[in-house]
Amino acid sequence: MKIEAQEVRDCPPLFTDPDNPWVKRFGEPLTSAPWFCDAAIFAAHGVPAIAFGPGKTEQAHTADEWIELAEVVRAARITERFLQSCVAA
């Protein structure tokens, strides 16, 4: 039995310059994670992108994934602060 694999598309790692004004406006420190997300495709085409959400990255997308309500509230506040900064600009 012979098995062949073919690359369907290039999936570059996500990188957005932390000095980008939109990223700075987000106001949260950037970190890395060992998984792919669609934001990498935007960033590869020059659109500043970050992956953001509630919870802890080491537990995300695991078989027993769960999120504390306080993390959801925190993420909502961060998102609200970011959006308000965009309106004020």
Using one digit for the tens of pLDDT, what is the confidence trace for 26-62?
888 888 777 788 888 888 888 989 989 898 877 888 8
d(CA 83, CA 77): 10
CA-to-CA dists, residue 60 to 21, 28, 53, 81, 85, angstroms: 28, 19, 10, 24, 28
CB 43 within 8 A of CB 14: yes
**φ and ψ at residue 16, rounded to 5 degrees:** -130, 130
Domains within the chain, CATH numbers bracketed: 21-88 (1.10.150.900)
In this prediction, residue 68 has a pLDDT band, given cuts at 50, 70 and 90, of: very high
This prediction's pTM: 0.75
